[in-house]
Amino acid sequence: MTRDSYDVIVCGGGPGGIGAAIGAARAGAKTLLIERYGLLGGGATAMLVNPFMTFHAGGQQIIFGVLQDIIDRMKSMGGYGAPKAPHAFDPEIFKIAAEQLCLEAGVKLLYHAFLAGAQTEGDTLRSVEVATKSGILSLEASMYVDSTGDADLAAFAGAEIEKGRPEDGLSQPMTLNFRMARVDRERVPSRQEITDLYIAAKERNELDCPRENVLWFFTTEPDVIHFNTTRVIMKDATDPWEMSEAEIEARRQTWQIAQFLRREVPGFENAYLAHTAPQIGVRESRRVMGEYVLTADDCLAARKFDDCITRGSYSVDIHNPAGTGTVIKRIPPGEWYDIPFRCLIPKGFKNLLIGGRSISCTHEAHSAIRVMPIVFGIGQAAGVAAAMCAKDSLDPRQVPIRKLQEILVQQGQRLGKDWLDEA
């Protein structure tokens, strides 16, 4: 069953896919976004990730475009920012804002459609197959953007994939995010005091989460605290059996931690477990090898590239794939690194781009570029480039970089190049 054909098909509706679909549609492409759930947001909603990690360098904002559009829309709906949580957002408002922006841009949305296969001929993707309640649907486009986060489309197409760290292939741990409500915020102790109580409870064998501390954030609601604390190690997010085990283990940890908070931490006596994410959060899975492989050195040296399509300032941040501990290596103060367009172009394919966290980079660099603001920028660039390729029958390697950058800037992005941003 084939229906319609599109200029651009974007697979996955997380920050990358939202950026890609809006970028492509605003650049004039007939655009379809395919999403397995009945809502947009991916990490931001289905994995309940919050807040937006830094998109500033030396106090200056460095990522704009669709990211700024969604921030503005959420602000106008009362769902962005709060005292002590300037970059927190309400995930329910996010769902509505993202959908509004996609529809206003002219994106066609196909929900409840799980990408389950791809037809290729040599270096060309011919169609994608999605599993639906009515069976398998085959859909065609001139250009495809893989924004599944896990690079499902690239893997189905047979692209060159890497997973995890070089020594043993292990990826960063997964985390089920959860929220406690009815918290008496005035009485909540310091982060260190909460962690001290947590470590003491671990020493008494009341908790067995491998994470070394309690990671939590204020939210847009005054009595709700967000926890990014569970840790499930050594599971492969592309294996459904291991994902099932991960969900079960994470929920077990969640209940343990929720009980600990109520029992031991001032301010949580009357709190309750208000929300667990619909799915466990996946930090890392497949990475698609492309025309350039971004490294940790590129990030830490704040390297700039002529084919920059967005920027980042988030640190290398590796939660131990095998247990306790987190390694953080910071970018020089006030600096940023560029993401080159070549990282979005998978080797060996002429009508596929990567529009999300699975771009071509090393395990270490991935730990930096994966945060939502950067991924919005990556996705938007993939979408605009896909639209350009569809319009002029280009291989992504032939995309005139200056033109791509100009369109991104017209769409509100800023790339740190004075001649361009001030045009």
Stretch that binds ligand FAD, among 61-69, 158-166, 302-310, 372-380 (CB under 6 A): 372-380
73 binds ligand FAD (CB under 6 A): no
Q: Is 23 a residue that touches ligand FAD (CB under 6 A)? A: no
Distance of alpha carbon 22 from alpha carbon 296, whole angstroms? 29
Task: Report in angstroms how near the CB of residue 313 gets to ligand FAD at its nearest.
Answer: 12
Written as one letter, the residue type at 194 is: I
Q: Is 16 in the site for ligand FAD (CB under 6 A)?
A: yes
Interface pick for ligand FAD out of 114, 181, 213, 401 (rule CB under 6 A): 114
Q: How far is the CB of 291 from ligand FAD (least distance, A)?
A: 19
Give whichever of 225 and 372 is closer to ligand FAD, judged by the CB atom: 372
Beta carbon nearer to ligand FAD, 356 or 383: 356
What is the closest distance, in whole angstroms, from the C-beta atom of residue 374 to ligand FAD in the complex? 8
366 binds ligand FAD (CB under 6 A): no
Check if the beta carbon of residue 8 is closer than 8 Å to that of residue 141.
yes
- Residue from 6, 12, 286, 409 in contact with ligand FAD (CB under 6 A): 12
Q: x/- site string to ligand FAD, residues 169 to 208, per CB under 6 A?
A: ------x-x-------------------------------
Residues with Cβ < 8 Å from 404, sequence gap 6 or more? 309, 341, 381, 384, 385, 388
**Chain position whose Cβ is nearest to ligand FAD:** 14
- Interaction with ligand FAD in 311-350: which residues (CB under 6 A)? none
Residue 111 is a binding residue for ligand FAD (CB under 6 A): no
- Contacts of residue 218, defined as CB under 8 A and 6 or more positions apart, other chains included, come to 82, 83, 84, 85, 88, 185, 225, 226
**For residues 317 and 335, which CB has a smaller minimum distance to ligand FAD in the complex?**
317
Residue 316's CB is within 10 A of a number of other CB atoms, namely 21
Name the phi and psi angles at 378, rounded to 5.
Answer: -60, -45
Nearest to ligand FAD of 340, 394 (CB atom): 340
Decide if residue 286 touches ligand FAD (CB under 6 A): no
Per-residue binding letters, 136-175, with ligand FAD (x by CB under 6 A): -----------xxxx-x----------------------x
Our CB check for ligand FAD shows the closer of 196 and 212 to be 212
What distance in Å separates the CA atoms of residue 416 and residue 249, rounded to the nearest whole number? Answer: 44
- Give the residue with the Cβ less far from ligand FAD, 170 or 394: 170
Q: Of 13 and 267, which has the nearer Cβ to ligand FAD?
A: 13
Decide if residue 357 touches ligand FAD (CB under 6 A): yes
Residues 24-53 vs ligand FAD: string with x where CB under 6 A? ----------xxxx----xx--xx-x-xxx
Q: Closest approach of Cβ 65 to ligand FAD, in Å? A: 14
Least Å from the CB of residue 188 to ligand FAD: 19
Computed from CA positions of residues 80, 99, 374, 249, in that sequence, does the dihedral angle turn out positive or negative? positive
Give the residue, chosen from 10, 115, 300, 408, that forms a contact with ligand FAD under the rule CB under 6 A. Answer: 115
Pairing label, strands 80-82, 85-89: antiparallel
How many whole angstroms separate alpha carbon 197 and alpha carbon 203?
10
The nearer residue to ligand FAD, 154 or 399, going by C-beta atoms, is 154
Contact between 226 and ligand FAD by CB under 6 A: the answer reads: no
Among 30, 73, 211, 283, binds ligand FAD (CB under 6 A): 283
Nearest-approach distance from CB 235 to ligand FAD, in angstroms: 12
Where do contacts with ligand FAD occur on this chain (CB under 6 A)?
Answer: 11-17, 34-37, 42-43, 46-47, 49, 51-53, 114-115, 147-150, 152, 175, 177, 228, 281-283, 356-357, 370-373, 375
